[in-house]
Structure 1
Amino acid sequence: MKQVVRAAAVQASPITLDSAATTDKACDLIREAGRNGAEVVVFPECFISAYPAWFQFLPAGSKALNDLNVRLYKSAVDVPGPETAKLGEAARNANCYVVIGVCERSRTNSGSMFNTQLFFAPDGQLVGKHQKLTPTGYERMVHWGGWGDTLTVVDTPFGPLSALCCSENSNPLAGFDIISRGPRIHAMSWPPHFIMVDKDAPNLAEISVLTARHFALMSKAFVISACAVIDHAFYKELAAMTGNPEQDLAAGIADGGSSIVSPSLDVVAGPLTGGAEGILYADLDLDQWISAKLLQDFAGHYNRPDVFTLEVDRAGGRYEDPDAGRPRPSGA
């Protein structure tokens, strides 16, 4: 098994509601990371082609909000589709694994979308996807909850690779299901910012780093946490819709905060704050996984299966997927 793996966390903004342009941007970033030796590259939540942050600024039921939702659907990604083909080609060019957040359009239910993470292998193949199980807050207005068969862990030469979206990294049951499958590396995808109800509440950077360290503590995996930053061109458009200046919309937003955390809870790269775009890199010594697991293995010797049990329904998208119930390829 490969001992040292070079990881990359991409912090960037999408070209909002333009899936073709954002896919091209993502492919450029994948190839850049590959040129710098990255073997695992992680992107933010709903990177292609938008995280629906406009719910924070527009009144429910307004025409402007509905128009944006329609544009989101029209720019959503078919899996598989032309965007996944381009992303796979970029992963193959870069010779790396890629985990990227997309807004996925349902294959059978018109008008339904998922908050999804896609897994690509170095040969360019789409080897798995994870659909966020429960959309958070206003995400529920546009995203459907995902299915248990997409609690995906992909086998790699350096051990299992897993992923969860945003706040579900704090879900103890989803987390334990992932942890029980022994990930060496875990990918976290985050939006550009949170709704800040209280200006003194922890912001995205603080929460994402705290969550990454907590997941590393529980799993003993290295955690690659990729946060988005706001798309200022889109916020100018949003400002015109609301009648508020862009600086007022963005007031108090602390975006970004990507980081890479070790099993010993050290932040080995980042956090990248201040709304800056960039790619964080770290060389992960996987022997740290072994020493940390020997101390506490929550899915092994530190577990009590005689006391605790977890049942996961992996039947799959019985309402969404016409192939539900049929055999699925390994890792998908």
Structure 2
Amino acid sequence: MRDLPRFTAAAVQSAPVYLDPAATVDKAVTLIGEAAAHGARLIVFPEVFVPGYPYWNWTMNPVQGSPWFERLWHASIEVPGPYVDTLREAARQHAVTVVIGVNERVSHSLGVLYNTLLTLGPEGDLLGVHRKLVPTWAEKLTWTGGDGSSLQVHQTPVGPLGVLACGENTNTLARFSLLAQGELVHASAYIALPVAPDDYDMADAIAVRTAAHSFEGKVFSVVACSTISPEIVDTIAGDDQDARRMLARPRSALSGVFGPDGRPVTDPLIDDEGIVYADIDLNRCIQPKQMHDIVGHYNRFDVFRLHVDTTPRPPVTFVTDQHDAAVEGDAPSMEES
């Protein structure tokens, strides 16, 4: 009889060393070591942990925020690159699978930054580079959207692993595309969002989204959210008392692990820094799938059909001969049902 993986997962709830990629990567390496020492084999970090989230998009107008975009560009990292190599070595040294969010800059444009999730394997390999498909609301002032080429489930020692960033976890089709590739472990990375509308509870919103995906897909979800440090408040708000009060709003972060029944495996962590540990047994996904398998018997593929285009979308394609032109015209796509 084939048993599915059993392991300990760690959801890291922490603040970056704001806009300092070197110090933040060092902090991540320390947290990887701490989680691994507690037996974790999967360690999930927050969205854009390296080197932080552009809160100025919410507290300033676009003209005021423009110099901050430049500052973030200088603090963003290349993928691959030396900071990624440091994180890969930490994963290899501790033999763990790591998911971590970064601000990624690219060589072809000074105006392009990506909200990127890296998936690192226990041998130090870079398994996945997922660029957030649609920046949410004010985030469009900072990030360019990714393409479908990174919407992949990776085979890892902890099971088939998929990742999405923050608001992507409200995108039903993106979530379904991962489930249809056999996802059993879902890593979702968030940022603390105290700048939301008054009637919006970020902690509740994270819990609802995470429970929904776990229950609908009969999977385990590991959700990691950043926190707001005094350093972030001082950097962004300065003497602006309204902004300081906004950034100090409670219930802006939640991290934890949810099971295939949609319930937390252990108590989530709200607002405070820390690491949530939980034991995961993927065999617990089997019996719930017998009841509701939305990528199998509990669907009507003669009625519903999802087409996912995984073609990479570079800004330019140079065609050098007729053979290349023919190949270009036959760009591959993935169809998920």
* In the alignment, structure 1 residue 37 sits paired with structure 2 residue 35: no
After superposition, the CA RMSD in angstroms is: 2.1
Once the 2 structures are TM-superposed, how far is the Cα of residue 2 of structure 1 from its aligned partner?
A: 4.4
Which residue of the partner structure matches residue 223 of structure 1? 221
The amino acid of 1:295's aligned partner reads M
Following TM superposition, by how much is the alpha carbon of 1:36 offset from its aligned partner in structure 2, in angstroms? Answer: 0.9
1:259 aligned residue:
256
One-letter amino acid of the counterpart of residue 310, structure 2: R
Q: Deviations over 1:27-75 (max 9, x none)?
A: 111111111111111111110011111212112212xx22211111111
- Give the equivalent residue in structure 1 for 2:166: 166
> How high is the TM-score relative to the length of structure 1?
0.91
Alignment of 1:155-304 (within 5 A): 155-198=155-198, 201-240=199-238, 243-244=240-241, 247-273=244-270, 275-304=271-300
CA change 1:321–1:144 in 2 (3 A) is: farther
Contact 1:2 1:157 in 2 (8 A): no
The answer (yes or no) to whether the contact 1:108–1:320 under 8 Å persists in 2 is no
> Contact 1:261–1:268 at 8 Å: present in 2 too?
yes
Distance 1:297 1:86, change over 3 A: same
> CA deviation digits over 1:253-310, x for unaligned, max 9?
423211110001120123211x211110011111111111111110011121111111
State whether residues 109 and 320 of structure 1, in contact with CA within 8 Å, keep that contact through their aligned partners in structure 2: no
CA distance in 2 between counterparts of 1:308 and 1:107 reads 40
Instruction: Provide the rounded CA distance (Å) in 1 between the counterparts of 2:267 and 2:54.
Output: 26
Cα distance change, pair 283–206 in 1 and its aligned pair in 2 (3 A):
same
What are the superposed Cα offsets for residues 161-195 of structure 1, whole Å, 9 maximum, x if unpaired? 00101111111111111110111110000011153
Q: Deviations over 1:68-112 (max 9, x none)?
A: 111111111100001100000111122110011111112322220
Aligned partner of 1:60 among 36, 59, 62:
62
Q: Distance in 1 between matches of 2:50 and 2:12?
A: 13
- One-letter identity of the residue aligned with 2:293: D
| Structure 2, unpaired ranges of 5+ | 319-326, 333-337
Deviates more, 1:108-117 or 1:4-13: 108-117
Which secondary structure does the structure 1 equivalent of 2:285 belong to? helix
Classify 1:153/1:194 alpha carbon distance in 2 versus 1 (closer, same or farther; 3 Å): farther
Q: Do the aligned partners of 1:51 and 1:191 also contact (CA within 8 Å) in 2? A: yes
* 2:304 matches 1:311: no
**Residue of structure 2 equivalent to 1:106:** 106
Query: Counterpart of 1:311 in 2: which secondary structure?
Result: strand
Aligned residues: 321
Identical amino acids, percent of aligned pairs: 36
TM-score calculated relative to the size of structure 2: 0.90
| Bigger mean CA deviation after superposition, 207-216 or 100-109 | 100-109
How far apart, CA to CA, are the structure 1 residues paired with 2:316 and 2:134?
Answer: 15
In structure 1, give the amino acid aligned to 2:264. V
* SS across alignment from 1:293: helix
- The change in CA–CA distance for 1:107 and 1:246 in structure 2 (over 3 A counts) is same
Q: Distance in 1 between matches of 2:25 and 2:179?
A: 31
Please give the alpha-carbon distance, in whole angstroms, between the structure 1 residues aligned to 2:287 and 2:204. 27
- Moved runs in structure 1, 4+ residues, more than 6 A? 324-328
Conserved? CA contact 1:205–1:271, under 8 Å: no
Counterpart CA distance in 2 for 1:252 and 1:243 is: 15
C-alpha change, 1:251 and 1:229, in structure 2 (3 Å) is: closer
Q: List runs of 5+ in structure 1 lacking aligned partners.
A: none
- Structure 2 counterpart SS, 1:122: coil
Q: What are the Cα deviations for residues 111-158 of structure 1, in whole angstroms up to 9, with x where unaligned?
A: 201111000000011111111100001110010000100102111234
Is 2:118–2:126's contact at 8 Å kept on the other side of the alignment?
yes
2: CA distance, partners of 1:73 / 1:218: 38
SS at match of 2:43: strand
